[in-house]
Structure 1
């Protein structure tokens, strides 16, 4: 049986472990810069920038989802953006991912969101098939743009 519950400050080390495992899966094991204090502040500080939920399967931590609100000027409503969804290898195929997505879809509805969105790597065919089976539609005409590091500093004129 899978339950999904809000993360608490006591879960920060677990969340960081899951983030690192996700980065390993996504072939970017050295890309994680987050630390426990950073996640504590981001999730539970004075102005949280994100929220997280923990999935437990048969009483054991089996995955997590980290999300935040964005806004659509076209719908005039906020949306829910899923930054990370991770299910441990042992729990895959047991309904944990489905439970996490259903939980977040319910939050989006309860909070009056017009959309529930996320990105997926183009090579992650199992995830893409899973998301399509859950009703997701690919936004293939859109391309994510990112400015980070020195390029961000340069763009800011600093």
Structure 2
């Protein structure tokens, strides 16, 4: 996401967002990525709002580790939006078991750009026991 930096994320973290939870990834004491998520409650489903990794940390498993963390925290599943033009993010999520379930054209999107809704649902083990 070109308009997101760790500095702006840190500023937003300091201000706080009701209901949002932030986690950061560090390498050698330096923050290299973060996720922002919403846990489900009676009013909403689990949601992954942001997953961001510094470009220089890409390809080292940081994004996968953050996504695995979200899967563990939101065990019943979650959704997220990806810009349709962000082919690398779409491929990242597909390769990690998430499904594209809806395409919203640019004229219907609040951001004015086509977006894809992506979801993840945990598949229970054989026999139905979690």
TM-score > 0.5, shorter chain as reference: yes
- What's the CA shift for 1:142? 6.0
Q: Which runs of 4+ in 1 moved over 2 A?
A: 22-25, 38-43, 69-73, 140-147
CA 1:141 to 1:100, structure 2 compared with 1: closer, same or farther past 3 Å? same
Structure 1: stretches of 5+ with no match in the other structure: 1-21, 148-158
What secondary structure is seen at the aligned counterpart in 2 of 1:51?
strand
- What's the CA shift for 1:49? 2.2
CA 1:79 to 1:40, structure 2 compared with 1: closer, same or farther past 3 Å? same
Structure 2: stretches of 5+ with no match in the other structure: 112-130
CA 1:50 to 1:106, structure 2 compared with 1: closer, same or farther past 3 Å? same
- What's the CA shift for 1:139? 1.0
Q: In terms of Rg, which structure is larger?
A: 1
- Identify the structure with the greater strand proportion: 2
- Output the CA distance in 2 between the equivalents of 1:71 and 1:121: 26
1:28-67 → structure 2 map (5 Å cutoff): 36=11, 39-43=13-17, 48-67=18-37
* TM score, norm. by length of structure 2: 0.66
Instruction: With a CA cutoff of 8 Å and minimum separation of 6, indicate the structure with the bigger relative contact order.
Output: 1
What secondary structure is seen at the aligned counterpart in 2 of 1:123?
coil
- What's the CA shift for 1:24? 2.5
RMSD: 3.1
- What's the CA shift for 1:145? 5.4
Are 1:99 and 2:65 counterparts? Answer: yes
Equivalent residue for 1:135, pick from 97, 102, 105: 97
- Output the CA distance in 2 between the equivalents of 1:124 and 1:71: 30
* TM score, norm. by length of structure 1: 0.56
Q: Deviation per CA, 1:48-83: give whole Å up to 9, x if none.
A: 32110001123321000111134689xxxx632011
My pick for the range that moved more, 54-63 or 92-101, is 54-63
- Identify the structure with the greater helix proportion: 1
The count of residues paired between Structure 1 and Structure 2 equals 107
